[in-house]
């Protein structure tokens, strides 16, 4: 049977807001070669990511019951919404991002594939005189799950961690390949026996400098800042606490502002005080903008930031150490400039969108 000229590639994600996981989906969907792939995106709601996908003239399918918070009834409804989408478009590849989508979509893909296999006898209707064994095999999707930081690595109670690990193990059963965006996620999965090593691969997030148009600086005051959702995991409260040591320095926390990254050059120091991360795009973007970075020593961040060479790493949830690192950079412009220069060069060399795209398409084969 001749291979199809293009592969229908369905991307599924829980929310259509604009965060790291959404940027990841957008970058892949928009940049896949259209002579080889037919990208379609499905997600919860019609947020900024959905708007960007539609603006790029790609199909966007809303999964109306998808949401981040746990709601059993809505999980059941969203499961059937995904089943309906799978039967409607018959994808060759299904690429899922985010933990909740991973579980619900994974089960939906499994049920869909079982149903397709069960329908094989009916294929004989169009193959008179041919044996059952010679009927063409059903076209089943290749399923991939991208982990943007394991949820069991969050600071939770023992029973919650145990339950999340179990859910993660079950989720991974539904997929042919698991992409970890950081080496830390990969080693954590191996250590906790979440999935076999043969299933997993590390592909770092990457960015394209041509996609960014940073505004020139308008801020006159020395500014320390961050960009991120106003959630507990972003650790903003520790940055606020640390900033109290510097009453003459302006603190700027940007949250929920569309296209906030264009304002990065207004910062003198960029801080990411997160409690949990996979491999954060915002550090790549801050480095691209030429900023010195202070970040929590967690997740995949040390794979970007080599402490003392291209940024400063501090323990998470520690406002005292954070304040010390901020003071170190405030007092030393030469250090700020060197860290920013080294980070910028590292990002251009090691974290390109082209590299991420090539490695992902290799899995699609």
Per residue, what are the HEC states of the chain? CCCCCCEEEEEEEEECCCCHHHHHHHHHHHHCCCCCEEEEEEEECCCHHHHHHHHCCCCEEECCCCCCCCCHHHHHHHHHHHHHHHHHHCCCEEEEECHHHHHHHHHHHHHHHHHHHHCHHHHHHHCCCCCHHHCCCCCCCEEEEEECCCHHHCCCCHHHHHHHHHHHHHHHHCCCEEEECCHHHHHHHHHCCCCCHHHEEECCCCECHHHCCCCCCCCCCCEEEEECCCCHHHCHHHHHHHHCCCCCCEEEEECCCCCHHHHHHHCCEEEECCCCCCCCHHHHHHHHCCCCEEEECCCCHHHCCCCCCCCEEECCCCHHHHHHHHHHHHCCHHHHHHHHHHHHHHHHHHCEHHHHHHHHHHHHC
Average pLDDT, the chain: 92
Q: What's the burial of 45, exposed, middle or buried (CB within 10 Å: 0-12/13-18/19+)? A: middle
Q: What is the pLDDT of residue 97?
A: 95
The CA distance from 217 to 263, in Å, is: 8
Q: Which CATH number fits domain 7-127+135-207+353-364: 3.40.50.850, 3.40.50.300, 3.40.50.2000, 3.40.47.10?
A: 3.40.50.2000
With 80 as the cut, is the pLDDT of residue 34 above it?
A: yes
Above 80 in pLDDT, residue 37?
yes
* pLDDT given for residue 344 in this prediction: 98
Residue 137's pLDDT is 58
pTM: predicted TM-score of the whole model, two decimal places: 0.91
User: What is the per-residue pLDDT across 156-180, written as a single tens digit (0 to 9) for each?
Assistant: 899 999 999 999 999 999 999 999 9
Mean pLDDT across the stretch 208-229? 94
| Environment class of 44 (CB within 10 Å of its CB; exposed 0-12, middle 13-18, buried 19+) | buried
Where along the chain do its domains lie?
A: 7-127+135-207+353-364, 209-350
**Mean pLDDT of the region 26-54:** 96
In the prediction, which pLDDT does 128 show?
Answer: 52
Q: Write the pLDDT tens digit of every residue in 220-231.
A: 999 999 999 888
pLDDT one-digit tens code per residue, 91-114: 999 999 988 899 999 999 999 999
- Same CATH topology for 7-127+135-207+353-364 and 209-350? yes
pLDDT-derived band at 119 (thresholds 50, 70, 90) equals: confident
* Alpha-carbon span 56 to 41, nearest angstrom: 11
Alpha carbon distances (Å) from 88 to 17, 53, 275: 25, 19, 40
- What is the predicted pLDDT for the residue at 100? 87
Token pair in block for residue 138 = 């059903």
Q: Give me the mean pLDDT over the 328-349 stretch.
A: 98
Instruction: Provide the pLDDT for residue 2.
Output: 47
Strands 177-180 and 60-62: unpaired
Question: Residue 83's pLDDT is what?
Answer: 96
C-alpha–C-alpha distance, residues 140 and 305, integer Å: 41
- Is the predicted pLDDT of residue 343 greater than 80, yes or no? yes
pLDDT at 329 over 70: yes
The per-residue pLDDT for 94 is 98
Task: Assess whether pLDDT exceeds 90 at residue 363.
Answer: yes
Query: Taking phi first (over 0 means left), then psi (-120 to 50 degrees means alpha), and beta for anything else, what does residue 178 get?
Result: beta
Residue 291's closest CA among 205, 183, 212, 357? 212
pLDDT score of 29: 98
Average pLDDT over residues 48-59: 97
Per CATH, the architecture of 209-350 is what?
A: 3-Layer(aba) Sandwich (3.40)
User: 258-297 pLDDT, tens per residue?
Assistant: 789 999 999 999 999 999 999 999 999 999 999 999 999 9
Which residues fall within 8 angstroms of residue 212, CB to CB, at 6 or more apart?
261, 262, 285, 288, 289
**% residues pLDDT > 70 (the chain):** 93
Nearest-angstrom CA–CA distance, 242 and 325: 10
What pLDDT does residue 257 have?
A: 84
Q: Which of 53, 48, 43, 15 is nearest to 256 (CA)?
A: 48
Give residue 133's pLDDT: 52
Reported confidence tier of residue 1, pLDDT bands at 50, 70, 90: very low
Least confident range from 63-67, 77-81, 179-183, 232-236: namely 63-67
- For tokens 């991420």, what's the residue? 356
Distances in Å between the Cα of 157 and the Cα atoms of 70, 100, 161, 195 are 17, 19, 6, 22
């Amino acid at each position: 049977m001749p291979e199809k000229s293009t592969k229908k590639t369905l991307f599924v994600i829980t929310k259509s807001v604009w965060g790291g996981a959404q940027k990841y989906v957008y970058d892949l969907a928009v940049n896949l070669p259209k002579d080889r792939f037919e990208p379609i995106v499905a997600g919860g709601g019609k947020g900024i990511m959905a708007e960007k996908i539609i603006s790029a003239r790609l199909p966007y399918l809303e999964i109306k019951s998808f949401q981040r918070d746990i709601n059993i009834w809505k999980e059941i409804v969203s499961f059937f919404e995904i089943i309906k989408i799978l039967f409607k478009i018959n994808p060759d590849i299904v690429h899922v991002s985010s933990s909740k989508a991973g579980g619900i979509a994974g089960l939906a893909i499994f049920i869909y594939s079982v149903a397709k296999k069960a329908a094989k006898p009916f294929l004989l209707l169009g193959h008179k005189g041919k044996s059952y064994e010679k009927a063409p095999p059903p076209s089943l999707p290749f399923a991939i799950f991208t982990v943007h930081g394991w949820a069991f690595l969050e600071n939770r109670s023992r029973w919650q961690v145990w339950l999340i690990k179990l859910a993660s193990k079950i989720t991974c059963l539904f997929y042919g390949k698991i992409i970890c965006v950081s080496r830390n996620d990969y080693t954590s999965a191996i250590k906790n026996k979440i999935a076999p090593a043969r299933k997993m691969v590390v592909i770092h997030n990457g960015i394209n400098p041509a996609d960014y148009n940073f505004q020139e600086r308008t801020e006159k005051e020395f500014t320390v800042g961050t960009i991120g959702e106003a959630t507990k995991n972003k650790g903003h409260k520790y940055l606020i606490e640390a900033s109290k040591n510097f009453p003459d320095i302006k603190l700027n926390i940007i949250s929920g502002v569309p296209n906030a990254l264009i304002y990065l050059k207004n910062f003198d120091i960029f801080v990411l005080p997160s409690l949990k991360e996979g491999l954060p795009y915002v550090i790549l973007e801050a480095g691209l903008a030429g900023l010195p970075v202070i970040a929590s020593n967690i997740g995949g961040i040390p794979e970007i930031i080599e402490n003392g060479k291209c940024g400063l790493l501090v323990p998470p949830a520690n406002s005292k150490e954070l304040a010390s690192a901020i003071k170190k950079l405030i007092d030393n412009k030469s250090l700020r400039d060197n860290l920013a220069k080294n980070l910028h060069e590292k990002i251009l060399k090691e974290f390109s969108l082209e590299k991420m795209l090539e490695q992902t398409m290799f899995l699609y084969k």
